[in-house]
Structure 1
Amino acid sequence: MSISLTEAAAARVAGYLQEQPGKLGLRFGVKRTGCSGWAYEVDLAEAGREGDHVFEDRGIRIFVDDDSLRLVDGTRIDFVRQGMGSQFVFDNPNVAAACGCGESFTTEAV
């Protein structure tokens, strides 16, 4: 089981953590939403929670709740800049389909 970060994603998260020194790392998971069923949630972790799985990549701790892990295991998180915008992008091997707008996805593990 693992979650990994590209160099660009790790640098962006490190910048957020430097701006907010009380945060522990990246919180990554999913929530039910959208037309396909699941959407990614990304935030800074304020504390560990019961049932968290903690991964570390490129010096960044990544906190994933137990319910989300089966849906995001193996995901590679990238940070891309296009034109004037930027965003985190997820390469999740568990995705079976995504909605047309790209805001939600579904997996075989419902």
Structure 2
Amino acid sequence: MIYLTQNSVKHIKDFLANRGKGEGIRVGVRTAGCSGLAYVLEFVDEPNDSDVRFDNDGVGVFVDPKSLVYLDGLKMDYVTEGLNSGFKFINPNQTGECGCGESFTV
């Protein structure tokens, strides 16, 4: 399961409304950074046949099966800290992250 906070749901719904289309977001991982894995986000207009779908208050969250192994139980929040805002990932599978926070290990 992938969980979205109310801040995340609101941000995604607002962005999709401004975009004028989309079924939700895809969350995945890719090899990157000094710790090994990085989160990848993209908007979904048409889901892939292999995607696993989770619904959070009307927002579809799509995950490919290979990424789900690393992301099961993930909680996504949308936060504003000072002048910066963006998604914060709380991943129960994560065992460490690099010093700059751009990548993580499982």
For normalisation by structure 1, the TM-score amounts to 0.93
TM superposition outliers: structure 1 runs of 4+ over 4 Å:
none
Q: Which amino acid aligns with 2:62?
A: F
Cα drift, residue 50 of structure 1: 2.6
Q: Equivalent residue for 2:83? A: 84
Structure 1 segment 58-73 matched on structure 2, within 5 A: 58-73=57-72
Cα drift, residue 85 of structure 1: 1.1
Q: Equivalent residue for 1:97? A: 96
Moved more, 88-97 or 16-25: 16-25
Q: Equivalent residue for 1:37? A: 36
Q: Equivalent residue for 2:54? A: 55
Cα drift, residue 21 of structure 1: 2.3
SS of residue in 1 equivalent to 2:95: strand
Cα drift, residue 22 of structure 1: 2.0
Q: Specify every segment of 5 or more residues in structure 2 that has no aligned partner in the other structure, as ranges.
A: none
Mapped pair 1:6 → 2:5: yes
Superimposed CA distance per residue, residues 11-43 of structure 1 (whole angstroms, 9 cap, x where no aligned partner): 000011101222110111111100111000112
Aligned residues: 106
Q: Specify every segment of 5 or more residues in structure 1 that has no aligned partner in the other structure, as ranges.
A: none
